[in-house]
Amino acid sequence: MIFICNWEGFFKYPNMLGTKAATTIGPESWRNNTLKGLKLSQTIVQKSDKSCDIGKAYDPLPHLRDTVAQLSNEEIHRYTREVRVIVAKLRQSLLETNEEIKALTRGKEALEKAVEHTRKDIKLNKDSQEVRLSRPTKEKEHDGADDLLNAEKAHLVNCKKSLEAQLKSVQQQLLVLDAARRRLFAVLHERSRVLDLLNHALSSIQNTGPASAGASRSRSAMDGRLSRVGGVPDPLGTYTPEAEAALGDAEEARTRSGYLRKELKEAIERAEKLQKAAHKSVNDGITQKLSETVTLKQHLGVGLGENRHGIHRAQRFYDATDKARGYTLGPVTSADLTTREQLNRPLVRVFQRHPGTQLPEAQEIIRGGDGLLHSLTATSRNIGLMRLANLRLREDIRSKSAAAEIDASIIRLRRRKADHRWTLGQAF
């Protein structure tokens, strides 16, 4: 019988020989120590194999450095691409803010021009009133043209106050837009610090479609990418709270600026319509007053001619009456009286030989002379009154001529300065 010792089986099954095996010669302790060493070695081998299996499953490969570097590069690439979307959004907002500032600045210039035109109209109104003060005293009575000038001044002053208040709002809004732009630029500069090595242009983010799609499509695509990046701000992420605040402030400022530009345009149009209407009303009123003055002047000319004709008729009548009175009074001395003119001529003396034959010739002559004297006095008084009326008519004609010339000069002045192409000497 050949005995082959299977140590592995022996180690696993120490009693495999059974009771029929021959008894060992060595001591029990000696055998137990050996078996303990064998078991310990077997346990260590099992643990080592298990550790190797775990190492094969979890231990990094030899190209760990390259892998980690590649993963880091991918993370950096992802982060920079997301930052590029944020930067594109910030840059788009910055460009829109700049355009809004330009548009509002043009509106501000138009508003300043409207304010300047209003001030010039107020100055023109004041000059017109001052020119009208140089009218003759008789023509200085308050008329409808003065009312129109006063109404125009009130409208222009109210319009000037409204435009100046609007201008103040525009200036404040420009400051708000400038602050939003500076904040956007600061955030854009801070976010762009990680894009120095990115080999893609920002235009690839904005031009996501055909050129005909327009800015709205580009903006919508950019908003979609921003939403994919993450709409919730993260202080340590790509979309920071500062970027969100800068974008929100800029958009709010642009929205407010858009409404303000619309109000600004309406205010300017309303002011221009009011100025043109007031200017036309005053011009029409002064033109009507000039027409009325010229008409009255023409009637005064006709009246002056009739007055002069009446003076000539009265003067001729006065001369004829004065000559008739001279004839009635007779010669200056009695020596010049002819026999037929004497009251004691022979025919009368013979007639008066009878009693009660008194003739009224002397009384009639005296009465006739008194009547002619009264007529002369009345005619002279009428001539004096007509000459006085003639002087007044002439003075009135001169006043009307001066007033008409002044009103005509005001009309020419207002028409000449209606285009506002003149320098304003002083502010009002």
In order of 171, 396, 400, the CA distances from 137 in angstroms are 49, 11, 11
Confidence of residue 211 (pLDDT cuts 50, 70, 90): very low
- The distance of Cα 383 from the centroid of its chain, to the nearest Å, equals 67
What does 317-328 look like in DSSP terms, one character per residue? HHHHHHHHHHHH
Pair (181, 328) in one structural domain: no
Asked if 258 and 379 sit in the same domain, the reply is: no
Cα angle value 143/147/149 (rounded, 5°) = 115
User: Does residue 14 form part of some domain?
Assistant: no
pLDDT for residue 261:
93
276, 307: one domain? no
Picking from 19-23, 109-113, 194-198, which range would have the lowest pLDDT averaged per residue?
19-23
Burial of 143-162, coded b for 16+ CB within 10 Å and e otherwise, reads eebbebbeebbebbeebbeb
Residue 251 has pLDDT above 90, yes or no: yes
Same structural domain, 318 and 278: no
Question: Residue 123 has which token pair?
Answer: 């100055």
**Looking at per-residue confidence, does 281 or 14 come out higher?**
281
pLDDT at 118: 94
CB–CB of 417/279 below 8 Å?
A: no
Rg (CA), the chain: 62
Burial tier of 107 (Cβ tally within 10 Å: 0-12, 13-18, 19+): buried
Residue 115 contacts residue 376 (beta carbons within 8 Å): no
Average pLDDT over residues 225-244: 75
Whether residue 42 lies inside any domain: the answer is: no
Do 398 and 306 fall within a single domain? yes
Q: Which of 22-31, 268-277, 307-316 has the lowest mean pLDDT?
A: 22-31
Shared domain for 117 and 230, answered yes or no, is yes
Residue 423 in any domain: the answer is no
Asked if 305 and 410 sit in the same domain, the reply is: yes
Average pLDDT over residues 32-37: 88
Secondary structure in 3-state letters for 350-406: HHCCCCCCCCCHHHHHHHHHHHHHHHHHHHHHHHHHHHHHHHHHHHHHHHHHHHHHH
Confidence (pLDDT) at 207: 52
* pLDDT of 209 strictly over 70: no
For 316, the domain range is 301-332+342-349+360-416
Residue 194's H or E segment, with its range, is: none
Whole-number Cα distances in Å, 239 to 26, 79, 80, 81, 373: 81, 10, 12, 12, 120
Res 13 pLDDT > 90: no
Whether pLDDT at 346 is above 80 = no
* Per-residue pLDDT at 369: 78
**Residue 144 located in a structural domain:** yes
**Is 233 contained in some domain?**
yes
Least confident of 91-100, 365-374, 385-394: 365-374
185 and 224 housed in the same domain: yes
Q: What is the pLDDT of residue 235?
A: 83
Closest to 119 in 3D by CA, of 271, 260, 284: 271
- Looking at the fold, whether 109 and 216 belong to one and the same domain comes out as yes
- Report if residue 291 sits inside a domain: no
Same domain flag for 309 and 276: no
Helix (H, G, I), strand (E, B) or coil at 135: coil
* Residue 339 vs residue 271, higher pLDDT: 271
Arithmetic mean of pLDDT, 60-86: 86
Predicted confidence (pLDDT) at residue 115 exceeds the cutoff of 50: yes
The CATH number of whichever domain residue 254 belongs to comes to 1.20.1260
> What three-state secondary structure class fits 248?
helix
Q: What does the pLDDT look like over 91-101, one tens digit per residue?
A: 999 999 999 99
Q: Give a yes or no: residue 214 inside a domain.
A: yes
Q: Is the pLDDT of residue 59 over 80?
A: no
Within-domain flag for 69:
no
Between residues 59 and 423, the one the model is more confident about:
423
pLDDT of residue 210: 45
Reply yes or no on whether the pLDDT at 218 is more than 60. Answer: no
Question: What pLDDT, on a 0 to 100 scale, did the predictor assign at position 18?
Answer: 45
pLDDT range class, residue 342, cuts 50, 70, 90: low
Flag whether pLDDT at 208 surpasses 50. Answer: no
Work out the average pLDDT over 47-54: 88
**Judgement on whether residues 209 and 137 belong to the same structural domain of the protein:** yes
* Domains: count for the chain: 2
Give the residue-averaged pLDDT of 213-239. Answer: 64
Stretch 203-222: mean pLDDT, rounded?
52
For the chain, what percent of residues have pLDDT higher than 90?
A: 48
Based on the fold, state whether residues 324 and 248 are members of the same structural domain: no
